[in-house]
Structure 1
Amino acid sequence: MKKFLIILIAVIAVLVIAFMTVFVLAKTKVIFINEWFVDKNNSTIGVDLSSYQADVDMQKLKEQHIEFVYMKATEGSTHQDEKFAANWANAQKAGLPSGAYHFFSYDTPGSSQAENYINTVGDDLKGRLLPAVDVEYYGDKKENPPAKEDVIRELTVFLNTLEAHYGVKPMIYTGADIYNQYLQDFSGEYKMWISSLYTPLSWNYKGDWYIWQYLNRGKLEGYSGGETYIDLNVLNKEKDLNDLIVK
């Protein structure tokens, strides 16, 4: 009996050490374990991209069983992604469900950011995926986070303006850190697209979600002249992609 307990304790110790090692390696971005938790053969997989991927062949992405794509359209009040127009047209031509996202700035008014998005994307989103807003830290914002009331005020203006214009509630993309600090009080109104790149989503986020961005080191064929990698996303198996399409 004593020998059995010693062996049991040793096995448990080895398993704990192995788990902690994997956890540390994942958190320090040495290994990427999320692919272990995503069944790509039985899931709805999508990508998000921007000018960083340079020239994108949407048909080639589709041939690799990519079933939806989000592309950057705008950032802040004045910036437009230089590849957006081409990506937007080519996704439609390929019959690939596609949406446009806006990178939210803490430094300019939500109203002018919404105007930038609408002027760039256009008035008709019928058949496209919901407009999305990317809310994350940038620059020194993590070390010097903006006041919550300021973020909520301007983000609300942005979201309400897009909803009034397009007749649909936008989707919010964010990570668990931003969600916990700013968004959990009001995000229940919106469909959520959550980024958790180094550990499974369920480890650090407990809310409802539609899309999980699980890897920023994906490699596919169909884009050239820019980044080697592309972001990979998976649709929640309990959700329907059609619920994200503007009717």
Structure 2
Amino acid sequence: MRVLGKILTVVLLVALAACSRSPSPGRGPGVTYGQGSGPRFGDSAPHSWVGGHPYNHEVHGIDISRYQGNIDWNTVRNSGVSFAFIKATEGGDHADPNFRRYWYEAGQARIPRGAYHYFYFCRSGAQQAAWFIANVPRERGAMPPVIDLEWTASKTCPRRPPSHEVLREAKIFKDILHRHYGQRPIIYTTVDFYRDNNLGSWPEEFWLRSVAGHPRIVYPGQQYSFWQYTGTGRVPGIGGNVDLNVFSGSPAAWRQWLNRRLQ
């Protein structure tokens, strides 16, 4: 994996509003990074990284939901965001109220984007796939859909079914979306869910959450395309914190990845 030139600058206080790097009242120590034409992001609660540093990656992106509010997408793009995953649906009856607006605005800003679904264990995979399809357009140029597999904290669905049921219903969901959108869904997951359900046995493309250590340590031996490394990122054009991610390869590998999927 190639990395971006110099080690990125570390400072004590940060809050990025538009392109400003002035300290923000009420926020603790943070980090800003980015030089020259590279990403200009920050983190309001950075970790001490073990096994590798995400800030050195060259291809960064965001994942968002309604909690990000109004977004200045052109500013986001100019800050160095190369992709966006946008929450579309949850379970079998909830749609993110900002999804369609974000989908349109990100497209207008020419930011590659994909939609993700938060999987519930109180609805079948088929029901959830039908709900996702009802809300997410089949659009040429979109990135693959994403299935977010993690243990839910919802009071309406506290179930933790056995692994064989999890894998069965998630596979049904994935297969239906694959047929409809023509692209195999990406699997987003967390450390505990990955281990509890032996997701390493799946021959799928992964987006891994790891906010304190490099995925090669946290998910040993697992190949992945995307790494979500913080939930407290700061990006010009977005008020408040936002999830930040990196693509695992170089800019050339990123262009190849897009070209294979955005036909």
TM-score > 0.5 by shorter chain: yes
* Deviation for aligned residue 1:169: 0.6
Q: Which runs of 5+ in 1 are unaligned?
A: 1-29
- For each residue in 1:150-203, what CA deviation from the matched residue of structure 2 results, as whole angstroms up to 9, or x when unmatched? 111110110000011112110000022211221435421x21000001222222
Larger Rg: 1
Give, in whole Å, the separation in 2 of the partners of 1:144 and 1:89. 35
Distance verdict in 2 for CA 1:242–1:103, change over 3 Å: farther
Higher mean alpha-carbon deviation, 130-139 vs 232-241, is at 232-241
Residue 212 of structure 1: SS of its match in structure 2?
Answer: strand
* Deviation for aligned residue 1:58: 1.4
Contact 2:122–2:159 at 8 Å: present in 1 too? Answer: no
Paired residue for 1:220? 235
Give, in whole Å, the separation in 2 of the partners of 1:57 and 1:183. 39
1:164 and 2:179 are equivalent in the alignment: yes
Correspondences of 1:85-104 after superposition (within 5 Å) = 85-104=100-119
Distance verdict in 2 for CA 1:80–1:242, change over 3 Å: farther
Identity %: 29
Paired residue for 2:262? 246
Contact 1:173–1:194 at 8 Å: present in 2 too? Answer: yes
Residue 237 of structure 1: SS of its match in structure 2?
Answer: coil
Correspondences of 1:1-247 after superposition (within 5 Å) = 32-34=47-49, 37-40=53-56, 42-124=57-139, 126-139=140-153, 145-184=160-199, 186-188=201-203, 190-206=204-220, 207-224=222-239, 228-237=240-249, 239-244=253-258, 245-247=261-263
Residue 197 of structure 2: SS of its match in structure 1?
Answer: helix
* Deviation for aligned residue 1:112: 1.0
Distance verdict in 2 for CA 1:109–1:144, change over 3 Å: closer
Paired residue for 1:6? none
In the TM superposition, structure 1's runs of 4+ consecutive aligned residues that sit over 4 Å from their partners are none
Residue 154 of structure 1: SS of its match in structure 2?
Answer: helix
Contact 1:168–1:246 at 8 Å: present in 2 too? Answer: no
> In proportion to residue count, which structure has more helix?
1
RMSD: 2.2
Contact 1:235–1:241 at 8 Å: present in 2 too? Answer: no
* Deviation for aligned residue 1:246: 3.3
Q: Which runs of 5+ in 2 are unaligned?
A: 1-44
Contact 2:121–2:159 at 8 Å: present in 1 too? Answer: no
Give, in whole Å, the separation in 1 of the partners of 2:255 and 2:90. 25
Residue 87 of structure 2: SS of its match in structure 1?
Answer: strand
